[in-house]
Chain A
């Protein structure tokens, strides 16, 4: 983690903004917000040294509910925004929030290349296997037989496997958490932030409105039976064969993060740049 420079004695509540979340009562994203603030407090990060970047969707509202710097970007482009920010401001801790629609469909290509570039930031995808904000269309992680009015009988399409894709594309830290375990999620998030390079956490976060069946997840999740590995081959086998409910850190890689030198960073004369935009 290149970014954490200051120990800051904050309580989790100190990282919350005054805005009240408008998620549905019962939504897993409330717990995820708690995990964010607990992890930041655990690391002693100063709020002004954190940037929470997001795209579009229920999960992407999270920057507004923290009092860190935030950017609510366009659909699927949160990773591109975050990469640009981290490259130019490596002193910031950059955490990116997304959902399964925003992150794996609209932003799917950015996901691959963010893993490949391995810039030092943390990507959190709150996966509820549905487009919640737009009222219940199937997402890339929706089960093939999940029946909706738009897809009678289900899509019939095999779901995307984000953890395997992340590993194959070069992510340096891969974990899965469950929103209903906020302390554990906070610990994993803190570890992901500290781990150098691109860290990816999938958080199973039930959508109680459009996927009430996901309330059962709390009985299905369990800690992964084996400790995290740094061996990509082993990790690939484990991730390909798990049922999607093993929790914890699943892969810790040791690739060096990509941090390109930014020409002129820090001493750029903005008036020179402004001239280029003069009409």
Chain B
């Protein structure tokens, strides 16, 4: 995952909006990739969860576009918002996916992403000298904190699976 030093340097309100928008768009794309994987591997419950998460992130992206007003946030994101060597904060980790994963696993991926986004915007609040950037970043911190709480609440509905969750009586490993 991105190290702080790899993150785009935000020096204006438009920079911040571009980054915030890109974070949401990246998350949408990643959740849709995961939903596609689960569709291919016949895990319909997870398909629905990842599609719902993608939809929610898409709504957040549209909210940021609205906040940006006349500023072309999509173009700004393409030009500016790039997170170092790896993923942007809310992109769920692809390497953690498994064809038998459960809703609890999906929500853990989501929770980790929301926490990374929260940490990212908190870092901007703490380091920026621009009052407009600070105010907007603080709003984004509030939103991400709400999302963390929301995912934590959802996790009450989906307790951790049994240790044998990945056990497959007809596994793909034919040699063992």
Question: Hey, which bits of chain A sit against chain B, CB under 8 A?
Answer: 11, 13, 20-26, 28, 30-31, 135-136, 148-150, 180-184, 206, 208-210, 215, 218
Residues of B within 8 A of A20 (CB): 36, 39-40
* B95–A206 touching, CB < 8 Å: yes
Nearest 4 A-B pairs (CB), nearest first? A25-B97, A149-B175, A184-B85, A25-B37
Extra A-B contacts (5), CB below 8 Å, given A20-B40, A135-B175: A13-B29, A25-B101, A26-B97, A183-B82, A210-B173
- Would you call A148 and B175 a contact (CB within 8 A)? yes
Determine whether B11 belongs to the interface, using a CB cutoff of 8 Å to chain A: no
Nearest CB in chain B: distance from A43 CB, A? 14
Which of B29, B95, B98 is within 8 Å of A180, CB to CB? B95
Taken residue by residue from 161 to 175, chain B's Cβ proximity to chain A (1 for < 8 Å, 0 otherwise) reads as: 000000000001111
- Tally inter-chain residue pairs, CB-CB below 8 A: 65
* B176 interfacial contact with A, CB 8 Å: yes
Residues of A near B138 (CB, < 8 A) are: none
Q: Are B86 and A25 in contact (CB under 8 A)?
A: no
- Assess the A28–B84 pair: CB atoms within 8 A: no
Do A11 and B86 form a contact, CB below 8 Å, given A30-B94, A208-B95?
no
Q: A25-B34, A26-B97, A30-B33 are in contact. Are A136 and B83 (CB under 8 A)?
A: no
In the complex, chain B residues whose CB is within 8 Å of the CB of A206: 95
A181 to B87, CA, bound (A): 7
Q: How far is the CA of A183 from the CA of B36 in the complex (A)?
A: 22
Q: How far is the CB of B167 from chain A (nearest CB, A)?
A: 14
With CB as the reference atom, state the residue of chain A lying closest to B35: A20
- Residues of B contacting A215 in the complex (Cβ-Cβ under 8 angstroms): 95
| A135-B174 in contact (CB<8A) | yes
- Contact yes or no, A183 B39, CB < 8 A: no
Q: With contacts A13-B29, A181-B85, A182-B86 known, is A24 near B172, CB below 8 A?
A: yes
B127 within 8 A of A: no
List A contacts of B84 (CB < 8 A): 183-184
Whether A209 lies near B172 (C-beta < 8 A) is: yes
- Enumerate chain A residues within 8 angstroms of B40, measured Cβ to Cβ: 20-22
Interface pairs (15), CB distance under 8 Å: A11-B78, A20-B36, A23-B37, A25-B37, A25-B41, A25-B98, A26-B96, A28-B95, A30-B33, A180-B95, A184-B84, A184-B85, A208-B95, A208-B98, A210-B173
Contact indicator A136/B95 (Cβ below 8 Å):
no
